[in-house]
Structure 1
Amino acid sequence: MNTMTQQVRLLVIDAEQEGQRLDNFLKTQLKGVPKSLIYRIVRKGEVRVNKKRIKPEYKLVAGDEVRIPPVRVAEANELPSARLSSIQALEQQILYEDDVLIVLNKPAGMAVHGGSGLSFGVIEGLRALRPDARFMELVHRLDRDTSGCLMIAKKRSALKHLHEQLRLKTMRKQYAALVRGQWQSHVRSINAPLLKNVLQSGERIVRVNPEGKPSETRFHVLKRFADATLVEASPITGRTHQIRVHTAHAGHPIACDDKYGDQLFDQRMRDLGLERLFLHASKLTFQHPVSGSEMSLEAPLAPHLQALLAKLPSA
């Protein structure tokens, strides 16, 4: 891959960028540069703030002058054809966009960001689609195998406002999940603490454990089938794999969940054409960070998920 060498840049931090950690700021300015290289140039003193050496966790202040040294960066427009097609496909998945945020219907199988052996994810794809955007960060995350509503902030002030809504639990997220068996209508909420374990392989496994973090998911039956139920799941907390673990804990694992699922049920679903985890972030309700008006955005189920539901015998 061809590379280009940047010149020394002196950037003055404005009010929009204030409060951001230096390492996170550098990641937005040096797109395509490995994190290890970013930390190395900070450690060696090649990055300066107000002409002084600085630590990566330093929080920037409006008026700070940041010196960014020449760094070899991958050509912005030079992407392998497979990646390019995935990036272009993202444009068709955008549900809403304005000056401060994007909400898109994330495809299943695509990570929200690069890492863990992946060099490219949704956020990298959107940055490539919007090269003039000075700031672009994930507001929240979805598992790689989960599809649906994903929000990205285009301004730091919007990110802070939306994170505050998450913290106060005023942002509502609703998911559609196809689970094994007949979900009992009286089970409207599951409160079960979750503990995350990272295996030596790097794989994350979450278990219900009294020593875990408090976790709550609320449930509502959408449609019953002979041996499955389509439920709406609304996570009140936002733990890793929360809905997947809570449904399994209730005895109703999600269809084709390779971590927490039931093999016999999954095989029946695969025989009917299901090739992915049946978990979809269907609706996102929040307060717009600028106008203050309430917004509700919905992501339709993928056609093959709708086709699967049409094949299931009714209860």
Structure 2
Amino acid sequence: MTTTPSPTSSVQLLEVAPELAGQRIDNFLRTQLKGVPKTLIYRILRKGEVRVNKGRIKPDYRLQAGDLVRVPPLRLPERDEPVPVAASLLERLEAAILYEDKGLVVLNKPAGIAVHGGSGLSFGVIEALRQLRPEAKEMELVHRLDRDTSGLLMIAKKRSMLRHLHQALRGDGVDKRYLALVRGRWESARKQVSAPLLKNTLRSGERMVEVDDEGKEALTLFKVVRRFGEFATLVEARPITGRTHQIRVHAKHAGHSIAGDSKYGDEAFTREVRELGGKRLFLHAYALRVPLPEGGVLELEAPVDELWERTLERLGA
């Protein structure tokens, strides 16, 4: 090898050693260009920007000893540089901010957007907000919402605010309320579901939660908002504890799974709601009441999206 590859250098010329003869060009580049995403390697191959002996080659080309491989300049993020977030998403999240002060941002998170990167996602809400507010060096999520759950999400801009809100969340200072569209007619106007929840990780890596006596104590208060005959009920859910997937599992435990819930839902019910245009998980964090460090209480409500509204209109028609 004549040079040591450097992802951010100008043009690189790599000579193929005899022991690497017969290797496919894409596999060769993946091993030689350390830190370069596979997607970028296949892009430059597809666009014909990689040349072998000054000629264009296909991604399945097999190298010969002595081949000279020309690699174009590659621009990669620095180690601490965030992955660029699409401008359209940045604009969408900026428009979703309902409250902001020097220490706190609260936004109405759209359904389908993860709160943070990971599990194959390069970014989520927190990474996007760090790009929107680069001066807020200490920005962190205060709590989480499932990717498919919409609604009020708090992000602290200062560590002091993060500590204050975590303390409030551990006590009874924060009041969070959700709306959920559930299967069937929920008879009692108010219902308290107290059932311990246990987290399990399946072999596939998927995280599931179930009611189990070995689990952690969990309590959710449900209140009927509107009934749609025998088919469905809109309920308000107030989680007193903050367990993973708590509302979704407690609703199922009560016999009323949430529409659009691929983990814990009823497939037939979800399919019927989808046929009405309801292609989402019908769980929305709509109300928040939280004490502020300097005194006073912040109270916010987040409207549901148009898809949710249209679906309920069709249910009530």
TM-score by length of 2: 0.74
Whether 1:304 and 2:307 are equivalent positions in the alignment is yes
Check if 1:73 corresponds to 2:76.
Answer: no
Q: Distance in 1 between matches of 2:270 and 2:213?
A: 29
Q: Are residue 263 (structure 1) and residue 267 (structure 2) matched? A: yes
Residue type at the aligned position of 2:265: G
The 2-side partners of 1:274 and 1:3 are apart by 46
1:170–1:74: structure 2 CA closer, same or farther, 3 Å change rule?
Answer: closer
Q: Does 1:225 align with 2:213?
A: no
User: Do structure 1's residue 254 and structure 2's residue 254 form an aligned pair?
Assistant: no
- Superposition deviation, residue 74 in structure 1: 6.2
Distance 1:94 1:114 in 2: 20
Match for 1:237 among 232, 237, 241?
Answer: 241
Q: Distance in 2 between matches of 1:79 and 1:103?
A: 22
Which of 192, 196, 199 matches 1:193?
196
CA distance in 1, matches of 2:305, 2:193: 27
* 2:225 partner letter: L
Matches of 1:303 and 1:252 in 2, distance apart?
A: 24
RMSD: 1.8
**1:17 matched to which residue of 2?**
none
Does the residue aligned with 1:311 lie in a helix, a strand or coil?
helix
Partner in structure 2 of residue 286 of structure 1: 290
- 1:121 and 1:186 map into 2 onto residues whose CA distance is 37
CA distance in 2, matches of 1:96, 1:90: 12
- Name 1:180's counterpart in structure 2: 183
Partner of 1:98: 101
Amino acid at match of 1:113: H
Mapping 1:43-192, distance limit 5 Å = 72-73=78-79, 75=81, 79=84, 83-185=86-188, 187-192=190-195
Higher relative CO (Cα under 8 Å, sequence separation at least 6) belongs to 1
* Pairwise CA distance, 1:199: 1.1
- What SS does structure 2 have at the residue aligned with 1:85? helix
Secondary structure of 1:280's match? strand
Contact 2:189 2:224 in 1 (8 A): no
Change (3 A) 1:3 1:165: farther
Asked if the contact 1:3–1:73 (Cα under 8 Å) also holds between the matched residues in 2, the reply is no
Task: Check the 8 A contact 2:190/2:224 in 1, yes or no.
Answer: no
Which amino acid in 2 is paired with 1:256?
G
Distance 1:214 1:94 in 2: 33
Distance 1:184 1:210 in 2: 26
- Between the aligned partners of 2:282 and 2:8, the Cα distance in structure 1 is 41
SS of aligned partner of 2:316: coil
Cα deviations across residues 180-218 of structure 1 (Å, max 9, x unaligned)?
A: 011122552100000000112211110000000000000
Distance 1:85 1:209, change over 3 A: same
How far 1:169 sits from its partner (Å)?
2.2
Query: 1:52-89 CA distances to partner (integer Å, 9 max, x unpaired)?
Result: xxxxxxxxxxxxxxxxxxx943655x726xx3321221
Q: Counterpart of 1:274 in 2: which secondary structure?
A: coil
Alignment check: 8 A CA contact 1:175 1:280 kept:
yes
Q: Conserved in 2, the CA contact under 8 Å of 1:3 and 1:75?
A: no
**What is the SS of the residue equivalent to 2:90?**
helix
Structure 1, unmatched stretches of 5+, are: 5-70
**CA 310–128 in structure 1, closer or farther in 2 if over 3 Å, else same:** same
Aligned to 2:52: none
Change (3 A) 1:3 1:129: farther
Residue equivalent to 2:41: none
Corresponding position of 2:213 = 210
- In the alignment, the residues of structure 2 paired with residue 3 and residue 107 of structure 1 have an alpha-carbon distance, to the nearest angstrom, of 36
TM-score between the two structures when normalised by the length of structure 1: 0.74
Q: Distance in 2 between matches of 1:206 and 1:173?
A: 21
